[in-house]
Amino acid sequence: MDQSFDIIIVGAGPAGATAAYQLGQAGVRVLLLDKAAEFPREKPCGGGLSARLLHRFPYVQEFLSAGEVPVNPVSRVHLQSPDGTRVTYRQAEPILYLIRRWEFDAALFRRAESVCTVRKGVTIRRCLVKPDHVELESTTGELFTAPMVIGADSANSVIARHTGLRSEAAHKEYAVDMMEETTYDRLDVADRESIYLFLTLTETFGYGYIFPKTQHLNLGFGCKLDWYLKALRGKGAEHHAGWVDTLKRQGDVTGETNPAGYKAFPIPVSGPLAKTYTDRVLLAGDAGGFVNAFTAEGIFYAMASGSLAADAALAAIRKQRYDERELSGYQRAWQAEIGSDLQHSVEIQHRLFNGSGRIDALVRKAKQDSELLRLIIGYSMGAARYEELRNHMMRSTVPTWVWSKVKAAVGLAVSAH
C-alpha cells in the first residue's frame, strides 16, 4: 500500500471497530486490518449486551431500535447454583439485550468502514516497534507501517505478545467457552423471554448459559483453560453435547444439538494486563484482558477500552508524541472508568469459584432475600455497583446490633437494615 496512515488498528471486532470509528470521525487517517476475508464474520459469543453499553454508545441503541441488528431484550433471569438451587429474577426494564455477533459486529464494521480505510483478509503475524514507527507483517509477507498501532486482535493477540505486554503466564489465566448457536427449529428453550445462568463449578471455575436470540438458541459452557487442557482436550464437542443433554433432562431445552455449530474460543478471565501500553502501541478489548472475570462479559469492556484507546491515540497523533509516557494516559483513563469494576470481578471470581460452597449458600440466601437477588443480578449485568452488593451482604450476614456498632465506628453512610 502506498498510502500513509496516522494509525493502524489490528482487529475489527467491537474494540477495533469502536476505536476506528471514533478516530475516523475525528479526521485521523486510520487503516483498519482484519484477518476475516469478509464481514459479517463468525465470532463465538453469547451476544449478551448489558444496558450500560447502550448508554455509553447511543449509536448502538439507534441501530438496535432501527432493526439493523435484530435483538431480543430480556428482563428475566433463571439463576442456578452448583447444587441445583434455582431462583428467578424479573424486572420491568430489559436486563440484557441479546444479539448475534454475526449481525452486531457487521453493523459496527460498517460504521468504521464509512470513515477509515479497511483491509480484510490480512492476518498480522509479526509486530516490530522501531524508533520512529511500528512495522507489521502479514502472513503473506506484506508490510504495513504507521507511527502507532492499536492492538485489538483478541485473546491470542499477536500485538500483545510481540510487544512483551502479554506473557505466557498471563495466557494460562484464560477460560475456554464451548458453545453453539442453532436455529429454533432444531434446538429450543422452555422460556424464550429469559436468560438462564448456571454457576456450574468444574474444578475451580465454571459457568453455563442459555441465551435465546430472535431466531436462534445460543448456549454454552465455560471453564478455566488449565482444566480444559487437563480434562477436556480433544473432547470439547463431546462435553458440549453432554451439557445439552443435562439441560434437556432438566426440561430447559428441547430438540437436538448441532455438532457442526459447536465452537470453542478462549476468553481472558484474570483481569486487564498489568500494562496495556508501550511505545507506539495500545491494547484494547480481549487483547488487553478487558473482560469481567466473574461474568465473562467482554463486549462492553472491548468497546469502552477501544473508545478510551482512541482518545489517547488522538492526543498522541495531535502532539506527534508516541512514547510510553504520552500513552500512559490510556491506562489511567481505563482505570478510572472500568478499572475497579474489573478488579472486583477478579476478587469475586477467586472468592466464589473456589469449591467452598459459597455459590450455593449465596443463591440459597438470594431465594429468601429479594434485594440480595436484585443486587446479584444487577451487579452481574453491570447495573448495580459492587459496593452496594457487598454492603448488603455484610448487612444480611452480620447481626443488626453488630452492624449498627460497625456503622457507628466507621461512620459508613448506609441505611440501617
Ligand X SMILES: Cc1cc2nc3c(=O)[nH]c(=O)nc-3n(C[C@H](O)[C@H](O)[C@H](O)COP(=O)(O)OP(=O)(O)OC[C@H]3O[C@@H](n4cnc5c(N)ncnc54)[C@H](O)[C@@H]3O)c2cc1C
Residues 183 and 194: their CA atoms lie apart, in Å, by 17
In the complex with ligand X, the residue whose CB is nearer, 30 or 179, is: 179
Which residue stretch of 32-40, 65-73, 238-246, 403-411 sits at the interface with ligand X (rule: CB under 6 A)? Answer: 32-40
Pattern of binders to ligand X over 162-191, x per CB under 6 A?
---------------x-x------------
In the complex with ligand X, the residue whose CB is nearer, 85 or 154, is: 154
In the complex with ligand X, the residue whose CB is nearer, 88 or 156, is: 156
Among 8, 19, 43, 146, binds ligand X (CB under 6 A): 43
Contact (Cβ atoms closer than 8 angstroms) between residue 18 and residue 303: yes
Number of C-alpha atoms within 13 angstroms, CB side, residue 319?
Answer: 12
Phi, psi of 189 (to 5 degrees): -125, 150
In the complex with ligand X, the residue whose CB is nearer, 12 or 71, is: 12
107 binds ligand X (CB under 6 A): no
Q: Are strands 96-98 and 134-138 parallel, antiparallel or unpaired?
A: unpaired
Number of chain residues interacting with ligand X (CB under 6 A)? 39
* Least Å from the CB of residue 299 to ligand X: 3
258 binds ligand X (CB under 6 A): no
Among 6, 20, 35, 116, binds ligand X (CB under 6 A): 35
Place of cell 475497579: 340
Residues 354 and 397: their CA atoms lie apart, in Å, by 20
Task: Identify which of 150, 125, 114 has the alpha carbon closest to the alpha carbon of residue 284.
Answer: 150
Pick out residues in 189-248 that bind ligand X (CB under 6 A): 220
* Least Å from the CB of residue 407 to ligand X: 36
Pick out residues in 53-92 that bind ligand X (CB under 6 A): none
**How far is the first Cα of the chain from the last one, in angstroms, to the nearest whole number?**
66
Q: Are strands 263-268 and 174-183 parallel, antiparallel or unpaired?
A: antiparallel
Pick out residues in 338-377 that bind ligand X (CB under 6 A): none
Strands (E), 147-269: 148-151, 174-183, 187-189, 194-198, 206-212, 216-224, 253-255, 263-268
**Interface with ligand X (CB under 6 A):** 10-16, 33-36, 43-48, 122-124, 152-154, 158, 177, 179, 220, 265, 267, 285-287, 291, 296-300, 302
